[in-house]
Amino acid sequence: MGVDSDDMNEKTAASLSFQVPEPEVRPGETPDFSHVQIPRAGSVPRPPVDVEPSEIRDLAYSIIRVLNRQGEAVGPWAGGLDEEELREGLRHMMTLRAFDARMLTAQRQGKTSFYMQHMGEEAVSCAFRRALEPGDMNFPTYRQAGLLIAGDYPMVEMMNQIFSNEADPLKGRQLPVLYSAREHGFFSVSGNLATQFIQAVGWAMASAISRDTRIAAGWIGDGSTAESDFHAGLVFASTYRAPVVLNIVNNQWAISTFQGIARGGSGTFAARGLGFGIPALRVDGNDYLAVHAVAKWAVERARRNLGPTLIEHVTYRVGAHSTSDDPSAYRPKTESDAWPLGDPIIRLKNHLVAIGAWSEERHKQAEAEIMDKVIGAQREAESRGTLHSGGQPSARDLFEGVYATMPPHLRRQRQKAGF
Amino acid sequence: MARMSMIEAIRSAMEVSMAEDERVVVFGEDVGYFGGVFRCTQGLQQKYGVARCFDTPINESGIVGAAIGMAAYGLRPCVEIQFVDYMYPAYDQIVSEAARIRYRSAGQFTCPIVIRMPTGGGIFGGQTHSQSPEALFTHVAGLKTVVPSNPQDAKGLLIAAIEDPDPVIFLEPKRLYNGPFDGHHDRPVTPWSTHPLGEVPDGHFTVRLGEAVVRRPGKAVTVLAYGTMVHVAEAAAEEAGVDAEVIDLRTLLPLDLETVATSVKKTRRCVVIHEATLTSGFGAELVALVQEECFWHLEAPIMRVAGYDTPYPHAQEWAYFPGPRRVAEALVATMEA
């Protein structure tokens, strides 16, 4: 087509190209986590809690680990928990897993509309909870029920909420698993993403304004760090040195979207804290001991008025996002088996066995006992109804609690509805 | 009693509330050291310290989100969004969080916050300093929405809002800050010092939320107004020579429907006016309610006078603003219908 066409080609060669990050592998391919850099357990130093944030920038790019492949607790972050505390931690994680299994089945049986499980992420919320004190407040997402289980919140209350039955503490108003338990330091879960990150910072600011000693913990997923409210939380926490621990649970997947879409070129999610001057630590989220040790460190910082800490829990969402999701459509079916940080329950169990504080036999026995307890709680909850049968929250209640006092227009609507 | 502008009255309300209740904290952009771009928080930081009145980063979602967390803790934040036009980044926090926390937690957590926001036009602010988005709040279950029209009400309503157990959207018509404005932009500005409602009680007093008031008694037609438009309505009634009864709604939600319906049943005619854009405005709700309550008493169709369905213009501000001429025309048309 002559000279013009050559010019065009030259322009095309120099044109911009649009980039969209892609995960390493897709369904049908072989899982590959060779890009996940995993330092040896025990190799990351433990700085004093009053360290200058600028001196520990490396911790945002490493992974703090305590349990090695032989099941030994090694390095400067080890030693924070005694045998009984470790066995308790194991029981909490096993309880959460058994609870999830029963509720998933209950959802398939139509006893509830929706459920979200924790498979693979049990250590994060279970271990973190044990680093807090009574009166501290979590602003959780929907995948931190370990905060309740490890905080001795009654399972039957959780199930009453999941079944939206007549004993539902939230009166049937909230989607299953979006619990609220003020007395157990668990703020009402929104369901909208990231909104609660800045609220946690506000709560912590209020505690400091009131010269209290309580601290807050905010929670967010890897995907939701892309929300503006993540930035709002960090800038307020940084500016006012709020006594808050800000947790990012990086479970690699935001429904079908791999974490690279939210992370972009920043290397790690923890690194986002560095620009705010907030100490940022990455931790092996499948290592109960490491999560607990890092949580303790951050909680102490907050309690000593040294300000916020950002923690990235590196873990893997083994299950589906929710009961409405099918991961086989976007990732290899065997990907979870290839996850290099293993299973949190098996790792803690192996450690306890290695130090002579546990055995295969005791584990089997504990499994059976825990399942009995979960089934017992379920029986009790089901006696108060499930979503479509038995005891239901009252329709009248639908109108209550929108305001402290029901305004005239709502009273008229309720009267007209006949409730 | 003291003579106050609306700015002074609003400041006085916060001062009284902060003195009486140490849980009350005040913050927002330029609110602390400087005292706010409209000076509403001037002196509060000096008097109550930086822990109770402070500047924030420019992040409206952060301001409201932090306030929600503080309220969950047990404080009573009264925050300022510099212009209501800037509230959109905070809308998720307002709608999905503040408004619903009591309901979704079955009362375990509540959200007693006040969000103060200058609203409305008349200051050549263009589209980013002139909007009246009250309908975006009245549409949301769980919020209360208040729009004062004078210093006396502003103080009483703001103290009531701070003491309210639920989130309150407090919209301050910025053209009224320094004087009553009846829409005659070409006439000299009159200060609040010559207006009876510039007389404001000292110390603590409240105007209960959810109570409208008859500003101008009349027999011929009821005008439903709030904020700046109350003064426009009064001027229009005088100029049109129509014996209009002007009702200042003061609180849009919960609405004082009884006062509204009593008046319309008496006058048998109704004109609804607001600065906000017409379509799906709060006026549409008022018209629906009036016809539901008063249909068999009406002798004329209910009319609306509102901002046009365009963005708020800059140079054409006075062509846009629903001033006394347009309101007077509606009053006359209603009487002739």
Structural domains in chain B, CATH included, are 2-200 (3.40.50.970), 213-336 (3.40.50.920)
- What pTM did the predictor assign? 0.96
Can you spell out the DSSP letters for B118-181?
A: EE--SSS-GGGS----THHHHTSTT-EEE---SHHHHHHHHHHHHHSSS-EEEEEEGGGSSS--
The predicted pLDDT at position A396 comes to 87
For residue A320, give the DSSP letter: -
A9 — pLDDT class (breaks 50, 70, 90): low
Averaged pLDDT for residues A4-13: 57
**A73 has a chain B CB within 8 A of its CB:** no
pLDDT score, position A127:
98
Instruction: Give the pairing type, strands A309-314 and B53-55.
Output: unpaired
Say which of B61, B72, B257 has its CB closest to residue A229: B61
pLDDT tens readout for residues B215-245:
999 999 999 999 999 999 999 999 999 999 9
Measured distance CA(A202)–CA(B93) in Å, rounded: 13
Interface test with A, best of B25, B53, B59, B87 (most A CBs within 10 A): B59
A171, A178, A180, A199, best to mutate vs chain B, most B CBs in 10 Å? A199
Q: What are the backbone dihedrals phi and psi of residue A345, each rounded to the nearest 5 degrees, phi first?
A: -70, -45
Window 174-213 of A: residues touching B by CB (8 A cutoff) are 174, 178, 180-182, 187-188, 190, 192, 195-210
Please give the positions of B annotated as active site: 129
Contact A401 B67 (CB under 8 A): no
Confidence of residue A2 (pLDDT cuts 50, 70, 90): very low
Which of A160, A195, A212, A230 is most worth mutating to test chain B (most B CB atoms within 10 A of its CB)? A195
Q: Which of residues 379-418 of A touch B (CB under 8 A)?
A: 401-404, 407-409
The H-or-E segment that residue B199 falls in is: strand B199-200
* Residue A1: predicted pLDDT: 42
Cβ(B301)–Cβ(B271) under 8 Å?
no
Helix ranges restricted to H, B21-150: 44-48, 60-73, 91-92, 101-104, 135-138
Nearest Cα of chain A lies from the Cα of B175 at a distance, in angstroms, of 30
Percent of chain A topping pLDDT 90: 94
Whether A139 sits inside 8 A of B62 (CB atoms) is: no
- Residue among A228, A229, A409 whose CB faces B255 most closely: A409
Q: Taking 50 as the threshold, does the pLDDT of residue A288 lie above it?
A: yes
The DSSP line for A108-132 is HTTSSS-----TT-HHHHHHHHTTS
Contact A402 B141 (CB under 8 A): yes
Residue A35's pLDDT is 86
DSSP A353-378: HHTTS--HHHHHHHHHHHHHHHHHHH
How far is the C-alpha of A344 from the C-alpha of A150, rounded, in Å?
A: 15
How close does chain A come to B48, measured CA to CA in Å?
12
ipTM of predicted assembly, 2 dp = 0.97
Whole-number pLDDT of residue A5: 52
As a whole number, the mean pLDDT across chain B is: 98
The closest CB to that of B101, out of A188, A209, A236, belongs to A188
Write out residues in chain B with pLDDT < 50, as ranges.
Answer: none
pLDDT at A218 over 90: yes
Question: Given this model, what pLDDT does residue A51 score?
Answer: 97
The residues, any chain, with a CB within 8 Å of residue A84's CB and separated by 6 or more, are none
Reduced to 3 states (helix: H, G, I; strand: E, B; else coil), residue A312 is: strand
Q: For residue B239, give how far its alpha carbon lies from the nearest alpha carbon of chain A (Å).
A: 35
Residue B115 pairs in a beta bridge with B79, B169
Chain A nearest-CA distance from B113, in A, is 12
**If you write DSSP's letter for every residue of B243-285 in order, what string do you get?**
-EEEEE--EEETT-HHHHHHHHHHH--EEEEEEEESTT-HHHH
pLDDT tens per residue, range A341-393: 999 999 999 999 999 999 999 999 999 999 999 999 999 999 999 999 999 99
For residue A36, name the pLDDT band (cuts at 50, 70, 90). confident
> Which residue of B72, B106, B253 is in closest CB contact with A401?
B106
Which residue carries 């290839």 as its tokens?
Answer: A338
Whether the per-residue pLDDT at A10 is higher than 90: the answer is no
Res A169: pLDDT: 98
Identify which of B51, B56, B32 has the alpha carbon closest to the alpha carbon of residue B43.
B32
pLDDT at position A11, please?
57
Q: Which single residue is written with the structure tokens 């010092």? A: B193
A234 CB near a chain B CB, below 8 Å?
Answer: no
Determine the pLDDT at residue A7. Answer: 55
Cβ–Cβ gap A404/B68 under 8 Å:
no
